[in-house]
Amino acid sequence: MGFKGINVLIFVGFFGMNPVHAQDSWFLGYRLSPPPVAGSAESDEDFIRLHEYQDHRTPGACEAAESQSDLTLENGFGPETGVLTKDEVRQVRVLGARVIAKALVPVLYFKNRFKRPRPFRTDPTLSPCISKPRFGDDAYPSGHSTVGYALALVLSKRFPEKRDLILRQGLQIGENRLIGGVHHPSDVIAGRRLAEQVVRGMRKEHHLAFMGPSGNMLRVR
């Protein structure tokens, strides 16, 4: 997982945790279920789907996924994606940075908590078509999926006329990690669930108050 331009301080004390149990884990109000157990039906389904992605992906799809290996507001939703214009990106750059920073804190905690290996580490017949993550091999949850979907939830409120387009792009950012072969499907799903919690939490903390296109004060819900 790489995110350009964002420095997140994670205190060592966050990581002196007990072994994982079957129940959900909590951190700073965020709740996440454990990943599928290796050898379970759910885990097997993850690998079946990943092989389907690998068998059907195209060079163009891999290129698009590679372009977001180091995810930013610009390469996730900017002009090259056909979602936001250059001026629209400028309007939400500070807000986007806040969302990314806020999302990465629970992502890094839960990655270290569960320590799920990347799928290509478990199954050597899986061959990623994008750069392998540079910052650790912990897969669950997907940081790209969490950040991408959290940004989409926020941006869809800021630009309601583009709501469907923005939300599709937020989902596609996670999908690209499956195309690339660096995450399990359940990693991506967990990331989206965590993103919803991040955005709800930011709204409660009043971090997401901003002026909508009509000049009215909006808060993401």
- CATH number of the domain that residue 175 is part of: 1.20.144.10
- Residue 96 falls inside a structural domain: yes
Burial class (CB in 10 A: 0-12, 13-18, 19+), 206: exposed
In tens digits, what is the pLDDT along the chain, a chain of 221 residues?
Answer: 554 433 333 322 333 333 344 578 888 899 999 999 999 999 999 999 999 999 999 999 999 999 999 999 999 999 999 999 999 999 999 999 999 999 999 999 999 999 999 999 999 999 999 999 876 899 999 999 999 999 999 999 999 999 999 999 999 999 999 999 999 999 999 999 999 999 999 988 765 554 444 434 333 33
- Residue 166 falls inside a structural domain: yes
- Residue 77 falls inside a structural domain: yes
**Integer distance in angstroms from the first to the last C-alpha of the chain?**
27
Angle of CA points 163, 166, 168, to nearest 5°: 105
Structural domain containing residue 134: 72-219
Task: Answer yes or no: are the C-beta atoms of 88 and 20 closer than 8 Å.
Answer: no
Give the pLDDT confidence score for residue 208 in this predicted structure.
53
- Residue 3 falls inside a structural domain: no
pTM over 0.75: yes
Structural domain count of the chain: 1
In single-letter form, the type of residue at position 39 comes to: G
**What is the chain's percent helix, strand, coil content, to nearest 5?**
55, 5, 35
